Chains A and B, each alone.
Chain A
Amino acid sequence: MHGRTNRGRWGWSPVQLKTASPVTGKLLGIFVVGAAVSVALGVYADSHTPTHEKPYTLFFSGTIQLKVWLATAALALALIQLLLAARLYGKIHLPRRAPAWLGDAHRLVGITAFLLTLPVAYQCLWALGFQSGSTRVLLHGLFGCVFYGVFTMKVLGVRVEGLPGWVLPVAGGLVFAALVGLFLTSSLWFFTSSSAPRPLF
């Protein structure tokens, strides 16, 4: 049996050893970089002295309102992103024939959603820091750190060639899940809690 399958000393054939290692190395590298981004954000938020300042409001009545609506818009774009990905992978068939620009539209929507999160994250990190005063606030901080980590993994997963087919859907799913977690612990709380500040806009 060993001779027929040409297995090596540890049960791996020489061909498997040559091809599996680079993929594992790439996946490990992507995971390490993404985890480093998450940890770096958490360390910064925890060690930086919060300013408690509200640096921008744009046309909203306050910074909190600005953050809530930017996060909501980012989630709405992420939902569109999810539908575009489902069409790209053939999980849904609407439109029946996928247009050639679908992949670029997926990229554009994703980048736009990401850009919308940056002012929110900046105010959270710079002005508020990492807090654990309540379960909601603690989870929000953790989701925030995880979001940018898995987003980094997703972007690297797109750029690095030769990865297994499951990597991008899984990474994209994690990004979406982290964004949903962020929304549930911030914007949804703002919209539903009677103790949240008003007005809505």
Chain B
Amino acid sequence: MFKRFVTAIELLAAVAIVVFVVMLFANEPSTSGVATSPGGQPFQANCASCHGAQGEGGIGPKLAGVVTHDFPNETDQIGVVTKGKGSMPAFGGNLTAAQIRQVVDYTRTGLGK
């Protein structure tokens, strides 16, 4: 009886693996959150994994609607993105200065509230 139960769970796991693989390929990523702003793409590629696709926060703090309050001076925010701070990595080596400025502009004007 117990052996049959375990076999049933193993079959369930096999089905779960199939669903897992199908979902990886069938569930296409949503592009609705990517803005047309030039900073939108680098934001999605470099920042969204921690700060959320809409800047709503996650591992990193929320940006949408609050970043201009946290960084009244845009230059300070550019400095944090470039050099990093605390657990946030520095992006000066991955992004050009122009890209960093575009990303910062995007977080200040392109993200929702």
Contact = CB atoms under 8 A, between A and B. Distances in A.
B24 A196 contact: no
A101 B30 contact: no
A131 B58 contact: no
Contact of B58 (A111, A125, A197): A197
Interface string B48-82: 11001100011100000000000000000000000
B30 A53 contact: yes
Given A51-B29, A64-B59, A112-B9, A44 B53 contact: no
Contacts, number: 72
Given A52-B48, A197-B57, A126 B23 contact: yes
Contacts of A170: none
Interface string A35-65: 0000000001000111111100000001010
Interface residues of B, number: 30
Interface residue range, chain A: 20 to 34
Interface string A119-144: 00110011111010110000000000
A108 B9 contact: yes
A114 interface: yes
B36 interface: no
Given A133-B89, A197-B57, 12 more contacts: A44-B24, A52-B44, A52-B52, A53-B29, A62-B58, A121-B20, A122-B20, A122-B24, A126-B24, A131-B49, A133-B49, A196-B59
